[in-house]
Amino acid sequence: MTRFDPLFQHGLERLTEQGRLRTSRSLDPRADAQLVRADGMALVDFSSNDYLGLRLHPLLRDRAAEWGARYGAGSGASRLVSGTCSGAVQLEARLAALKGTEAACIFSSGWQANATLVPALARLSAAVLGAPAVIFADKLIHASLYQGCAAAGIQPLRFRHNDVAHLATLLEKHADTPGLKIVLTESVFSMDGDRADLPALAAVCRAHNAFLCVDEAHATGILGENGRGLAHGLADLVVGTFSKALGCMGAFVASSNPVCQWLMNSGSGYIFSTAPCPMVLGAVDAALDLLPTPELEQTRTHVAALSALLRAQVQGMGLDTGPSSTQIVPIIVGGEQTALQAAQAMEQAGFLTVAIRPPTVPPGGCRLRVVVHGFHTQTQVLALVDALRNVVRQGVTV
């Protein structure tokens, strides 16, 4: 105990009153699309981001063990201190090819990559152009990108979500402002499951000489040809993660050689952080082997079909799935307590559909974030819909 515990306890009590207290719990994955609670109850997983079901794939586990035996369990230090194993160098070349860029650099997490790249780009503007960067951000970008803006000491100019015309207006308004113009967006937004109009964004950025950064966390592996994502050839810089469709942990930035070299020399998250462990990178290498295979192409088609089925069924019940057009299907319910009650009722029926509450989503926008995976069946999706229908009948207003 510390003498400050009453202060923290009071803060926790306030979160509880607001319906915003979060806790972690034991859930062990099984190969049959289920997660097992500590009490032994199995839940069908409709919440994780393992879109292709790769985290338990034998090839990933075997490759992780192989790289561990070859390079060790840990990396030893940051890459600029103890160097980079040859496997990681080759993996970066594969990641660049996946995104159609000259180069890529690996980070330990998507949060680290996003929080690192924004201040690094801002430093370039100050050092070379002699003026602060001007950052334009889609209103719904990930918290890690906002953290990057805060670390850079820059208040971003926010444009309305997926409103390219509004972005163009802001860029025109600030056309004479010195400094590098940086546009931050995502190809697929994690809470609504909708897509950015990347061709239109790319055209606007080219017209206004703005540097377009696209976070592809929720598109890499699951969308686009061979799972390459949606920003191929359209963005100046792309962020991808290993922790969603690739079934692992970590992230990468893909761009030109000079951009990646600048990040390696100016990005504090790259310079001062221990490099990812070789075992994780080995699993990523195996996931890249699988992405272009007919098996995973069928999986991506399967996920798209089940996602469309789920949206149609839920909308048919009069419920709101927002602008979703991907494997992420939100069921928007409004208030915190309603979301918690609905999630609890769904769990009692055997489905993990976690309640998403502020600050992750705006007040009044609480939801069940339902995620379709490659290992789901049509029977499971329809059973989920039946369970949701029963929740509504039981009086939980969604």
Instruction: Just list the catalytic residues.
Output: 49, 142, 186, 190, 215, 218, 244
Q: Which residues contact 43 (CB under 8 A, 6 or more apart)?
A: 27, 34, 35, 36, 37, 347, 350, 351, 352
Going by C-alpha positions, the residue among 120, 69, 101 that lies closest to residue 235 is 101
The b/e string for 183-208 (b: 16+ C-beta within 10 A; e otherwise) is: bbbbbbbbbbbbbbebeebbebbeeb
CA 291/CA 38 separation, integer angstroms: 33
What is the sign of the dihedral through the CA atoms of 138, 366, 398 and 43?
A: positive
Beta strand pairing call for 134-138 and 103-107: unpaired
Concatenated DSSP letters for 214-246?
Answer: EE-TTTTTTSSGGG--S-TTT-SEEEEESSSTT
User: What is residue 177's DSSP assignment?
Assistant: S
Q: How far, rounded to the nearest angstrom, does the alpha carbon of residue 72 sit from its chain's CA centroid? A: 28
Burial of residue 349 (number of CB atoms within 10 Å: 0-12, 13-18, 19+): middle
Distance CA 167, CA 205 (A): 9
- Answer yes or no: are the C-beta atoms of 156 and 288 closer than 8 Å: no
Q: Which helix (H) or strand (E) holds 58?
A: helix 58-71
